[in-house]
Amino acid sequence: MSDMLELVGLVVDLPGPGGAVRVVDGVSFDIPPATTVGLIGESGSGKTMTANAIIGLLPDGATTGGALCWRGDDLLRVDRRRRRRVRGREIAMIFQDPLAALNPTQTIARQVGEILRRDGLDRDEVRRRVVDLLDRAGIPEPARRLNNYPHEFSGGMRQRAMIALALAGNPALLLADEPTTALDVTVQARILRLLRTIQESEGLAMLLVSHDLRVVAHVAHQVVVMYAGRVAERGPTATVLRRPAHPYTRALVDSVPAIRTRTALAHPLPGTPATPANRPAGCAFHPRCPLARERCRTEQPAVRSVAPDHWTACHFAEEIADRV
């Protein structure tokens, strides 16, 4: 029994008009305890479906393969009881849009305290714990905000309330799906700082799903780059961003608009992100890749190690440093 989540060849198929679509195609990585893993990708990369598979909130009709190893169980095969026990208490999730995720008809205190009431705590104890949770999530004067409704909170405060709600079940792993995408820059910086503080002080494992490399670079210890439902590259954040071992990561890093330099427009990638429904043969990235050659069109690259803890799914990863 370990508190490490291991994704082993995770597969998610969704029903589509032209047959099942493999939106997650053999994804493997670990989320070690007390570590933040950033999951980065563009639209259609399968990053959100991967998070949804972990928390067990896949859409109706989805079928899965591979394994999600957690505390001695495979979460894809456990019964519904165990699944519900895990969701919220062992693994919790923060969503992108707190206004959509919170119930508009219930007070903040009622929603944050729901899981505590289920545990049979009495009213005063629930109240005391909710105030503490809101306080840990950085809500000022929490005792006075208990009877507020979500619409009475600002966007940043709502996201803090959702973080408090996620912490209520005392989880070991926190999934955050684009937690700051809907927020202004100054609020985003504060929420990211809060997530990092909470992750460190509570010793949580965290999976941070984002399309924004800057967000992931700021918070994550390790990063997993996904493209068209597959892992393109994974490794320690600093290494992956400074010495990418996949041409897609290289292009992502290069197209981040920097505040103090004008470099993002130098060599934009051609084309649009491949989608799982329309995934090119061989390496899914080959139509946009500056290094692509015959082998890339026919042979899907296996994920291989280029350095300790640094993995790539590129046949020609060794050439990337020379080219740029």
Note the residues at the interface with other proteins (CB under 8 A).
42-43, 184-186, 188-189, 192, 211-215, 217-218, 241, 251-260, 262, 264-265, 268-270, 272-273, 288
11 versus 183: smaller Cβ distance to other proteins: 183
Beta carbon of residue 243, minimum distance to other proteins (angstroms, whole number): 13
62 versus 189: smaller Cβ distance to other proteins: 189
Beta carbon of residue 216, minimum distance to other proteins (angstroms, whole number): 10
Contacting residues for 98 by C-beta, under 8 A, at least 6 apart: 150, 155, 158, 159, 161, 162
Beta carbon of residue 198, minimum distance to other proteins (angstroms, whole number): 16
Query: DSSP label at 184?
Result: -
121 versus 253: smaller Cβ distance to other proteins: 253
48 versus 111: smaller Cβ distance to other proteins: 48
Angle subtended by helix axes 185-202 and 155-168, to nearest 10: 20
70 versus 285: smaller Cβ distance to other proteins: 285
Beta carbon of residue 254, minimum distance to other proteins (angstroms, whole number): 8
Query: DSSP label at 30?
Result: E
Beta carbon of residue 218, minimum distance to other proteins (angstroms, whole number): 5
Separation between Cα atoms, residue 245 and residue 316, nearest integer Å = 9
Separation between Cα atoms, residue 169 and residue 106, nearest integer Å = 19
b/e string for 292-320 if b means 16 or more Cβ within 10 A?
A: beeebeeebbebeebeeebbbbbbbbeeb
Which has the closest alpha carbon to 9: 55, 58, 51, 68? 68
